[in-house]
Amino acid sequence: MPDQTSKVIVTGGAGYIGSHTVVELFHAGYEPIIIDNFVNAEKSAVKGIENILGHKVKLYEGDCGNMDFMRNVIRQEKNVSGIIHFAAYKAVGESVAQPLKYYRNNIDTLLSLLELMHEQTISRLVFSSSCTVYGQPDALPVTEQSPKKPAESPYGNTKQICEEIMEDTVKSGMAIKTVALRYFNPIGAHESAEIGELPLGVPNNLVPFVTQTAAGIREKLTVFGNDYNTHDGTCLRDYIHVVDLAKAHVSALHYLERKSEKSSYDVFNIGTGKGSTVLDVIKTFEEVNQVKLNYTIGPRRPGDVEKVYAEVSQANAALRWKAQLSLADALKDSWRWQLKLKKKSKQLP
* Active site (catalytic) residues: 155
Distance CA 204, CA 233 (A): 21
Nearest by Cα to 82 from 246, 264, 245, 257: 257
Nearest by Cα to 35 from 14, 66, 16: 14
Nearest by Cα to 119 from 168, 66, 74: 74
